[in-house]
Structure 1
């Protein structure tokens, strides 16, 4: 059974009908993120029929658009105006191979790319949302200006909620200008410990850095530097004078490298199990030391995000235990892709967090019909 509303009023009516009959709904757009998506339900709620107009105000750096707008279209629209999504949403295509998805999926998943430590997370750029709760109530939250929030900050709450609290229909985002010039320094580092030290050293002193990552297989740190064409050479020279010997990649080659870094293009093999592990950067070397020899490690966010790639035969490997050993309660692991396993994709939340989440869920979706099998939200 499937629902495909064409208007927000139809959507609200469908949700109310499902609640009355106790029918759970798998909330999805193009279905590009199955690893964190709706999971099994009594009926599919297909949101691709919900259209609407796009309002882009380049002068105010504002973009309001339907949640069903494809991510590709959003990025092309902004690029024509010399702008971008500041949180650099990773494409899910390299992980699941089902396309780039929609802007609604990007916001609902709450995932951010390499620019996250420097420009903020996805939730920091969502100014307003419209949608329908699990009660069938149409709502609009936030607006088109940055301001202090004195009440319940619904845009931040719903960003990363993965369709479990409300169905998003319209989103207002703060966008940023594209950097006019970009270059990447590649520095040798054969261990995670060396890589984290280099990235921390660079971030404490050098200006213009908007990306810091490391690949174990390539044995090198990547530092992205962005600025105006007039200033970029001086920033690059200053960094190269302080840091270990490096190679320089410029322009489109640099941009392509970071697109691949954000979404694991060319890094994850087709049969590998993919784990995503946010943790304190200082604990990344400890995690690296605990990994089995056949694991592959990539670090982003200057070491605060670890991608662990395991061979297909390691489905029973408990990465939750390793992250807990390396980072305690300050880190967590989430399996985005892999075969069925007795190891859960996500560790159960602590009792206090679980209780609070249940109370919030009851406020928005008391009948528990919206994506009840979806992965828990709140991704970093």
Structure 2
């Protein structure tokens, strides 16, 4: 069974009816992120027919758009105005090959890319949203200016909730101007430990750094500023760091377009894990990986991408991350065969209780994407 509401009122009625019947719903947009949910359910809730008006105010750096709009349309609209989504969304097409998805799916899954440590996460740029709870209640939260965002911060709560608490129908986001000029330093680093040390040195440079990653034995450091100021920032970084290659302009932008698609470098048959941890613990995680495992770092070392070939699919990434980072690490399998290793580790009692209370408040019948909820098995 597939439900495809044409307006918000239809959506609310669908949710009220499903709640009364106890019918679970897999909340989906374009279906570009199968590894992040919604998992199995009695019926599918297809949101792609929910339209709306796009309002873009370049002068105020504001964008309001329906959640179902394709992300590619938003990216193109902003680029034409010399602007961008500040959190530089990760490309789901690089992971699952199902397209770039929708604006709502990007926010609901909180897919922040390489600029996240420097410009903020997706939730930091969501000023307001509208949606429908699992109870079938239509709501609007936040506003179009920061000073109007008062009370319980629903935009932050629902960013990353993966459709388990409410269905987002509209979003208002703060956007940023595209940087006038950029350059990337490529520095050799044979190990994760060496890469983290280089990145730590680069962070001591005063301003301009907006990307720090490690792949294929090379550290990538992106510097952005005005055309007039950028040479001085590059010179300051080069004075502090070992010698390396300088990549400028369009070539630099191409490097970071590829960095936002880092998982594309893995074999399609590999299991792919996304691990958040303190950057200082990335070398410890690297030391625990078996031969044949692939490791890429982003977010200055605070995000590790692990690729495991089929013969290593049962390697316990959760145990390795717990050893390397303790309670400060979190791992999730985005792609790969189901096996004895769960895609997400169970929540500890405190967070599990809080998550359950939130679920009961927003979706008491438990109908919204139940398998995508924290601690669920899908």
Q: What RMSD, in angstroms, separates the aligned Cα atoms of the two structures?
A: 1.1
Quote the Cα distance in structure 1 between the aligned partners of 2:78 and 2:150: 31
Structure 1 match to 2:129 = 129
Structure 2 match to 1:166 = 166
Quote the Cα distance in structure 2 between the aligned partners of 1:268 and 1:148: 44
Within a 5 Å distance, the mapping from 1:270-281 to structure 2 comes to 270-281=268-279
Structure 2 match to 1:69 = 69
Structure 2 match to 1:309 = 307
Quote the Cα distance in structure 2 between the aligned partners of 1:181 and 1:242: 21
Structure 2 match to 1:336 = 334
Structure 1 match to 2:205 = 205
Structure 2 match to 1:299 = 297
Among residues 252, 271, 276, which one is paired with 1:254 in the alignment? 252
Determine if contact 2:263/2:305 at 8 Å carries over to the other structure. Answer: no
Structure 1 match to 2:352 = 354
Structure 2 match to 1:24 = 24
Q: Which runs of 4+ in 1 moved over 3 A?
A: none
Gapped regions of structure 2 (runs ≥ 5): none
Determine if contact 1:36/1:375 at 8 Å carries over to the other structure. Answer: no
With the length of structure 2 as denominator, give the TM-score of the two structures.
0.97
Look up the SS of the partner of 1:147 in the other structure. Answer: helix
Task: State the shift of 1:240 in Å.
Answer: 1.1
Task: State the shift of 1:238 in Å.
Answer: 1.7
Determine if contact 1:5/1:47 at 8 Å carries over to the other structure. Answer: yes
Quote the Cα distance in structure 2 between the aligned partners of 1:375 and 1:131: 18
What's the CA shift string for 1:239-259, capped at 9, x where partnerless? 112211110111122112112
Structure 1 match to 2:219 = 221
Quote the Cα distance in structure 2 between the aligned partners of 1:263 and 1:21: 41
Structure 1 match to 2:43 = 43
Quote the Cα distance in structure 2 between the aligned partners of 1:375 and 1:94: 24
What is the number of equivalent residue pairs in this alignment?
375
What's the CA shift string for 1:131-184, capped at 9, x where partnerless? 000000000000101138552110000000000000000000000000011111
Quote the Cα distance in structure 1 between the aligned partners of 2:234 and 2:285: 31
Quote the Cα distance in structure 1 between the aligned partners of 2:140 and 2:148: 17
Alpha carbons of structure 1 residues 76 and 265: separation in structure 2 relative to 1, 3 Å: farther
Quote the Cα distance in structure 2 between the aligned partners of 1:93 and 1:111: 12
What's the CA shift string for 1:236-286, capped at 9, x where partnerless? 122112211110111122112112112226412111110000000000000
Within a 5 Å distance, the mapping from 1:5-154 to structure 2 comes to 5-147=5-147, 150-154=150-154
Gapped regions of structure 1 (runs ≥ 5): none
